[in-house]
Every structure is written in C-alpha cells, then in structure tokens.
Amino acid sequence: MKVLKKEKFPQIWQAINQAYELYLPIEKDDRVNFAQWTEGETVNLEALKTEISPKDVIFPQSETYLKFESDGKKLQLESVESENREYVLFGVRSCDAVSFNLIDNVFLREPIDRLYEKRRNKGTIVSLACSEPEENCFCSSFQIKPEEASPGVDVAAWDLGDKILWKPVTEKGQVLTQKFAQLMEDASQQDQEELIKLQNAIKEKVKELPLASVDPKVIKGELKEIFESKVWDELSQSCLGCGACTYICPTCHCYDIQDFAGGNCGERFRCWDSCMFSEFTLMAHGNPRTTQKQRFRQRFMHKLVYYPNNHGSYACVGCGRCIEKCPVNMNIVKVIKRLGGEG
C-alpha cells in the first residue's frame, strides 16, 4: 500500500500523461465529467458523481468502424484501426467501476465485440472510494461496497484528506504503481488505521442513506406476469421519451450503426442509442414497439429481469443519476417500488 500526497497531483498527472492517455474528472462550466487531461484543466476529485458516467472512456459515444469509397461498381473498404494509446482512468467510483463489468458481460462474450475489447484492454482503472455518498445513492441495494476496491479495478484509492491511499490490486495496477513509485511513499501504520476508520465511517453513512432500503428482490413473479403488470401503463404515462436516462446511465449500452456518406465516399460508425426513442427498434418490416409504454417497459424489464436472467445480476448499480436528471422525476427506484407492490 502506498500514499500519494495531493501536493504531488500536478506532477503525477504530468508523469502519467507522458506514458498513457490520462482521464480524470474535469470541471468545466460548473459541470464535472471524465475527460482526457491536458495541462491547465481543473481536476475535481471531490465531486462524488460525474454528470455522465465514465462509460464513454471504455465505450465511446461515437466510433468509426470502417471507411468506404466507390468507383463505379467497385467498392473499396478500409478498416479503421483505433490509434488510442494505453490509458489510465483515475477516480472511478465503485458504482461506475461495477458498471464496466456489466458491460463486459455483453461485449466480451461470444461473439466478442473487437472494438470494445481492444479499447477495454488498454485501460488501467484507478477507483476512488466514496467518502461522502449522496442522498440519491443506493449502490448497496446491488451489494456494491463503496468503501472497498470494486471487482475489476486495477488500483483502489481512498481519500485521506491531504493524501490518497493507493493500493494496487491487479498486475496492471502493480505496473502503474511501479512506474510512478518515486512520487509515492509507503503507507504507515497510522495510514492503515485511518483507512479502517474511513471505511467504517463510509459503511455507516451508506446505511443511513434515504434509499438504502431499496431492494430489487421485491420484484417477484414469472417474467410474463411482470411483463403484463398494470404498473407499466401508469408509470410510463409521464415519460417523455427524451432518452436522458439512458445516456447518463453507466450500464446502458445500446448502440446504432449508421453510414455517413457524401459523394463516392463515407464511413460506417456506431453511436450510442436509446431504447426510449421511438425509432429504436424500427426495421424494414415495421416497429415491434410502437408505444412509449412498450419502450419504457423494455428499459426496466431489461435492467431488472432480462439481464439478471442472462447474467445473474441486475443491470443497475444504484448510482442515482436517473433520479437526478429525469425531467419528469421518473426513475428506477419508483419502478422497483411499484413492481414490488408499493404505492
């Protein structure tokens, strides 16, 4: 276990940035989001949650597959290889770190998504424990422990005021630590004791959160029964279909593939999509989901029923972003409670 003093932050950002691409929570126009660091950026590691989850670092919002050019009846295809270097993603909260594993379950199972695999393998993830969880957090409902190193991270870090306690937990984490060890010190017995105090304090705070008792296991019954529940008619009425909840959600991973063509050349790219949009399932023969109720139901059935049936865990990490951002105050907590018979 190592200690990184905060006064060394500018030095370590610079040093990491020379060897890797470095992504940090960056503050711009009063908003904090993960972005690639460059000299002079305002790094904000105090903000608990970034507005958009860091999933766009492992799964970019838009990505080009290939370029094409036509010459009469001949079509020439050129595959586009990602030029990205290895990267470090620093300051990921436990909920967001777990969401990466949930997306892996989809993209890294056969048939493996090669673009995603390549980008994912280049990353070293440094988590930062949540010293001050907020009122909309309910990660504990999904057995996430914000005081501990989440499964899948390479380095776990804790904020001890004027320093960060730094614990490599994978080989990649060891490599990163060794590269920058000259900027760190060994953790003392007192640091270890402070860590235990901090972890206990976080556990207590999490227990006291207003949504700590949300429990997705209250949703019982056969798939057909849940699918046909009257609850969907009522809850979907207010939904605007704006898709905001899907774009900010760390676990949503649907995408569309489109061609951008001009004259005799163009490119094929993929970009994030939303199951809340009316054209999401539009196909040549028509659209199997023609109402907002069907689309709304799909989003929550996927997170709370289909994904767990396929992968053994819920596709929500309780980050609370949808609670904060939905313009009509609809969110997964309301859905869980109503499907569980409350209200």
The tokens 């501990």 sit on which residue? 148
User: Pick from 124, 126, 320, 336: which binds ligand SF4 (CB under 6 A)?
Assistant: 320
The residue among 297 and 321 lying less far from ligand SF4, judged by its C-beta, is: 321
Minimal distance in Å, beta carbon 212 to ligand SF4?
14
Instruction: Report the DSSP pairing between strands 42-43 and 21-28.
Output: antiparallel
Region near ligand SF4 per CB under 6 A, out of 5-13, 81-89, 175-183, 310-318: 310-318
Q: Which helix (H) or strand (E) holds 193?
A: helix 189-208
Among 318, 336, 338, 339, binds ligand SF4 (CB under 6 A): 318
Residue 265 phi/psi, 5-degree rounding, is -140, 165
* 335 lines the binding site for ligand SF4 (CB under 6 A): no
Order of strands across the sheet with 265-272?
74-79, 62-71, 265-272, 255-262
Residue from 184, 330, 336, 339 binding ligand SF4 (CB under 6 A): 330
The CA distance from 266 to 256, in Å, is 17
210 scored as a contact of ligand SF4 (CB under 6 A)? no
- Tokens standing for residue 161: 């005021």
Q: Does 291 bind ligand SF4 (CB under 6 A)?
A: no
Q: Please give the single-letter amino acid code of residue 229.
A: S
Among positions 195, 319, 336, 339, the unique one binding ligand SF4 when judged by CB under 6 A: 319
CB atoms within 10 A of CB 36: 13
Q: CA 57, 177, 101, 80 torsion: positive or negative?
A: positive
Say how far apart CA 290 and CA 46 lie, in whole Å: 43
240 in contact with ligand SF4 (CB under 6 A): yes
Q: How far is 252 from 106, CA to CA, in rounded Å?
A: 11
Stretch that binds ligand SF4, among 36-44, 65-73, 247-255, 280-288 (CB under 6 A): 247-255
How far is 338 from 333, CA to CA, in rounded Å?
A: 9
Least Å distance, CB 81 to ligand SF4, is 32
Minimum Å gap between C-beta 66 and ligand SF4 is 31
Phi, psi (5° rounding) for residue 315?
Answer: -100, 50
The least CB distance from residue 284 to ligand SF4, in Å, is 26
Q: Which stretch binds ligand SF4 (CB under 6 A): 35-43, 64-72, 143-151, 248-256?
A: 248-256
Write the single-letter amino acid at 89: L
Q: Does 316 bind ligand SF4 (CB under 6 A)?
A: yes
Measured from the CB atom, is 199 or 229 closer to ligand SF4?
Answer: 229
Is residue 239 within the footprint of ligand SF4 (CB under 6 A)?
yes
Residue 322 found at the interface with ligand SF4 (CB under 6 A): yes
- Return residues touching ligand SF4 (CB under 6 A): 239-245, 248-251, 276, 303, 316-322, 326-328, 330, 332
